[in-house]
Amino acid sequence: MTALADRTSGDLATELADVRQLARGFFEKEVAPHREEFAAAGRPSREVYRTAGSLGLLGMSVPEQYGGGGGDFRHEAVLFEEQVRSGDSAMQLGVHSGIVPHYILAYASEEKKQQWLPKLCSGEWIGAIAMTEPGTGSDLQGITTRAVRDGDDYVVTGGKTFISNGAHCDLIIIAAKTDPSAGARGLSLLVAEVSDDTDGFHRGRVLHKIGQKGQDTAELTFDGLRIPATNLLGGGSGAGRNDQESQEGRGFAQLMQQLPQERLICGIAAAAMIDAAVAQTVEYTKSRSAFGKTLFDLQNTKFELAECATIGRVVRTFVDDAMAQHISGTLDVTTAAMVKYWTTDRQFEVVDRCLQLFGGYGYMEEYPIARMFVDGRIARIYAGANEVMKDLISRSL
C-alpha cells in the first residue's frame, strides 16, 4: 500500500522518497535498538530528538526562516508512517512536530516564532500541549485550570494529566480559563517555557500505561506559574493591558482550527499500522505450518487476510482523500472527526484479527503484532474519544 505522499510526481515525489528513506534509517538505527531501554525508563532519551533534529526530521512543514524544512504536511506524514512501521511508540513526534509548532505558527507573534520554533525544529527543546485534566478529557469546555492576569504576567493554577512529552517538555502550550464565567469563550492558550527548576511548575509521576511504555506521559501541576502576557497565543504584541485582554478567550476557536490536523495524524498512523499488521501476518502465516499446510493455505486465514487487506485499502483511500483536502486547506472539522474515529476503529479491528492468526505467539510481547495491539489501543481515546467524534459528526447531519 502506498500513501498519497508516494503518489505525487516530479521533484516532490523524489523529495518525499528521500525523506522516507532517511526516516526509516533513523528509526532503525537510532531508536529501535533502544526500545527496551526507553520502555524501562518510561521515556525516550533527549538525544534521539536532537539526532532527529540534526537530520532535518523535525518541523519539516515549518518554514525555513524559523529553522524548519520548508515543506508541507506530506513530509510530516511520511515521518509518522515510518515511525509506525518501525514499531516505535516512544517518541511522541505527532505532538512535537505535528501539533505544537503549528499553534505557534498560526497564533504567536513574529518575535515568539523566531524565539521558539528553531529550538523545537533542532530538537534542543521538546514540545507538549496540556489540555486534559483529571476531571475533564474530551470536553474542553470543562477545563478548570485558571490563568489570572497580574501586571505583565498571567498566573496559572491547576493540574493536567495524560500529557504526552510531559516529563521532557521545555515548551508547553497550556489551555486555561482566563474568564471562567464565559464558558468556551473564556478559554485561552498560553505558552510556557519550563524546566525542572521553574517556579510554580511541577512534573508529577510518569504514568504507567498498558502500551506505549517508552513514551513519557505525565501529570503536571501549575501552582502560581507565571507566564509573560506576551505568551498568550493570538494576543498580539501585548503592549497594553486593554489590548491584551481584548485578545483573550480565543483558545477554544484555536483548538477547533488545529484539531483537524491532529485527528488526521491519527488516521495516518492507523493506515500505516493496518498495512504493517497485514504485511507481518501474511509473512508469518506463509512460514508456519499447521495440519500439513502453511497457515496461509487454510481458507480461514486467507479469507481473514483478504478482508483485512480490503479494510486497509479503504482506510488508506479515505486518509489520502482527507490528506488532499488538508493540503488544499479544505479539511473540515466533521470530516476530520470521521477520519479519526473510523480509521482508528478499523485499526483496532484489523490488528486484533491479525493477532489471532499468530495464535499464542501473538500474545508474546517480543512479537510486533502484540505491541501493535497494546500501543494502538489509545488511538480510539486520544485526540478526542471516538464517541465524541460521533457526536461532532451528528451535529452536521
Task: Provide φ and ψ at 289, rounded to 5°.
Answer: -105, 150
Q: What number of other Cβ atoms are within 10 A of residue 228's Cβ?
A: 15
CB neighbour burial string for 26-44, b if at least 16 within 10 angstroms, e if fewer: bbeebbeebbeebbebbbb
Contacts of 391 (CB under 8 A, 6+ apart): none
**DSSP secondary structure letter of residue 128:** E
Residue 368 cell numbers, joined: 510486533
Find the DSSP H helices in 7-152: 10-26, 35-41, 46-54, 73-86, 93-96, 100-107, 110-122
Quote the CA–CA distance of 286 and 282 in Å, as a whole number.
Answer: 6
Q: What number of other Cβ atoms are within 10 A of residue 359's Cβ?
A: 12
Q: Which of 15, 262, 307, 366 is catalytic?
A: 262
Q: What number of other Cβ atoms are within 10 A of residue 158's Cβ?
A: 21
Active-site annotation holds for 245:
no
Residue 87 cell numbers, joined: 514499531
Find the DSSP H helices in 358-385: 368-376
252, 184 contact by CB (below 8 A): yes
Q: Between the CA of residue 242 and those of 146, 152, 237, 247, what are the distances in Å? A: 19, 12, 12, 9
Long-range contacts of 307-314 (CB under 8 A, 24+ apart): 307/353, 308/274, 308/277, 308/278, 308/281, 308/350, 308/353, 308/354, 309/278, 311/274, 311/346, 311/349, 311/350, 312/1, 312/271, 312/274, 312/275, 312/278, 312/350, 313/1, 314/346
Catalytic positions, written as ranges: 262
